[in-house]
Amino acid sequence: MPSVFPFSAIVAQEEMKTALLMAAVDPALGGVLVFGDRGTGKSTAVRALAELLPKIETRDGCRFNCRPEMPQTACETCRCEGHAKPPRIVKIRAPMVDLPLGATEDRVCGALDLEKALIAGIKRFEPGLLAAANRGFLYIDEVNLLEDHVVDLLLDAAASGVNIVEREGLSIRHDARFVLVGSGNPEEGDLRPQMLDRFGLSVDVKTISDLDQRIEVIRRRDSYEADPEGFSGRWSKREAGVRNRVVSARKLLPRVETADAVLRRMSELCMALGIDGMRGELTLMRAARAATALEGRTEVRWEDAVEAAPMVLRHRLRRDPLDDTASTVRIERAVAAMNGAGHG
């Protein structure tokens, strides 16, 4: 496997990087949707993030990424069926599964193991992409072009953390806890609002227009391609820094607290923007917590919520075809109005 372009070497696109880190800290956030122009480093960032995160422990040969101490019933390897001793524990890179656009339901959820069925006539479950992505990332490029019924499946699994397969004679239930990352180009087709709403965070990426930054991107890309290992080596210190931030934030997260006053203001913000449902508020709270943890603090401040608000709320605003102000601006305006009211 060639070494991956380092996360910290990605130029600019700060919002996208922050959103991905927040999702990595708290997988319950509900994933990230990255919408924007082509060639802006969307897929590079996601692949880099998986590389950067701490390795996970599992057993050798496990296809479900089970925790060694908690073997799943679906996993024959970890339940050590047939042999007394379970396979040894190995450390693997956080899984990063690419979901190809043409993937069938069978491929996503898992299906009958063809080899065993055809040759031995044995009914065995062949885990799908959801199992492979357990405890890692599931990345869908061009999510807006994916079949609706597959998106439904994915979002269901992502929200519940479990994949259930009920087919003739097969009844399987296994963990599918992953961070869903979708990317796409809105010019090529919209995502239905119902789907949009289920992504936790959403980021708009624009192509970099600053010439110096553009040159820097190309320079880094060039030296990476000329010598991937050497390049990764030069960035390893910064990569470790980011990794440590995520690791300590994950530890810190359960202790992060949100004051009632801040929670109330979050609700007010959502109401002011006319956002339907509780999901927006809930995600805003979680996002603010993740952001706080990333900063190494344990007390959510209103500023944390303000910073996270565009990512959380941008795709939940009711679309008004006539309001030409960008959704980010609308959120900022609502925040400014609230700040004014709050101090008055």
Partner 1 sequence: MAEAHPPENPVDAADRMGEQLWREALLAVRVLAVAGPSLGGVRVQARAGPVRDAFLQCLETAGPATARIVRASAMAPLSRLTGGVDVSQSVAAARLVSETGLLALADGGALLLSMAERLEPANAAVIGAAMDNGTCPDPANPGQGVETRFVVIALDEAADDGEALPAALADRLGLTICHDRIGWHHVAQAPAPAPLPSLEQCRATHVSGRLHGFLSAVALTCAGGSLRRHAHLVLVARILAAMSDRNEASEADAVMAARLCFGILPAATDEEPAHQQQAQDDGTPSDPPPGRNETNSDSKGDRQDAEFRHADEPPGDRHTESETARLMGLLDLASAEVLRGGRRSAGKAGAMARNARRGRQYGTSHGPPYPGARPDIVATLNAAAPWQIIRLRERAAAGLPGPASGRLQVRKSDFRFKRLRHAAPSTAIFVVDASGSTAHERLGEAKGAVEGLLARCYVRRDEVALVAFRGTGAQTALAPTRSLLAAKRKLAALAGGGPTPLVAGLRHGLELALSVRRAGNSPVVVLLTDGSGNMALDGTPDRARAARELEQIAGRFREQTFRKLCIDVSRRPRGVVNDLSRAMGADYHFMRQAEAGRMSELVDSHMQEGRP
* In contact, 142 and 182? CB cutoff 8 Å: no
H or E stretch covering 34: strand 32-36
**Residues with Cβ within 8 Å of residue 227, at least 6 apart in sequence:** none
**Both tokens of residue 334?**
């609502």
Altogether, the residues listed in the chain come to a count of: 344
Q: Assess whether 214 carries a catalytic annotation.
A: no
Which of 190/299 has CB closer to partner 1?
Answer: 190
Amino acid symbol at 207: T
**Both tokens of residue 163?**
């994949």
Residues from 128 through 187 that contact partner 1 (CB under 8 A): 132, 141-142, 144-145, 147-149, 167-169, 185, 187
Tell the burial category of 90 from Cβ atoms under 10 Å away from its Cβ (0-12, 13-18, 19+).
Answer: middle
Residue 222 engages partner 1 in binding (rule: CB under 8 A) = yes
Residue 297 engages partner 1 in binding (rule: CB under 8 A) = no
Query: From the CB of 193, what's the least distance to partner 1, in Å?
Result: 9
Query: From the CB of 256, what's the least distance to partner 1, in Å?
Result: 34
Residue whose C-alpha is closest to residue 284's, from 258, 255, 320: 258
Residue 329 engages partner 1 in binding (rule: CB under 8 A) = no
Q: Which of 17, 59, 63, 314 binds partner 1 (CB under 8 A)?
A: 63
Residue 1 engages partner 1 in binding (rule: CB under 8 A) = yes
Residue 61 engages partner 1 in binding (rule: CB under 8 A) = no
Residues from 87 through 116 that contact partner 1 (CB under 8 A): 97-98, 100-102, 104-105, 112, 114-115
Tell the burial category of 320 from Cβ atoms under 10 Å away from its Cβ (0-12, 13-18, 19+).
Answer: exposed
Residue ranges of alpha helices (H) inside the chain are 14-25, 42-52, 105-109, 114-115, 129-132, 148-160, 193-198, 211-226, 228-252, 260-272, 279-294, 302-313, 327-343
Residue 214 engages partner 1 in binding (rule: CB under 8 A) = yes
Amino acid symbol at 262: V
In angstroms, the CA 156 to CA 163 distance is 8
Query: From the CB of 42, what's the least distance to partner 1, in Å?
Result: 11
Query: From the CB of 97, what's the least distance to partner 1, in Å?
Result: 8
Q: Which of 60, 152, 225, 303 binds partner 1 (CB under 8 A)?
A: 225
Residue 60 engages partner 1 in binding (rule: CB under 8 A) = no
Residue 194 engages partner 1 in binding (rule: CB under 8 A) = no
Site size for partner 1, by CB under 8 A?
A: 61
Query: From the CB of 34, what's the least distance to partner 1, in Å?
Result: 15
**Residues with Cβ within 8 Å of residue 35, at least 6 apart in sequence:** 183, 184, 185, 186, 202, 203, 204, 205
Q: Which of 22, 208, 284, 311 binds partner 1 (CB under 8 A)?
A: 208
Catalytic residue ranges:
279
Residues that bind partner 1 (CB under 8 A): 1-2, 37-41, 43, 47, 63, 97-98, 100-102, 104-105, 112, 114-115, 117-123, 132, 141-142, 144-145, 147-149, 167-169, 185, 187-190, 207-209, 211, 214-219, 221-223, 225-226, 321-322, 324
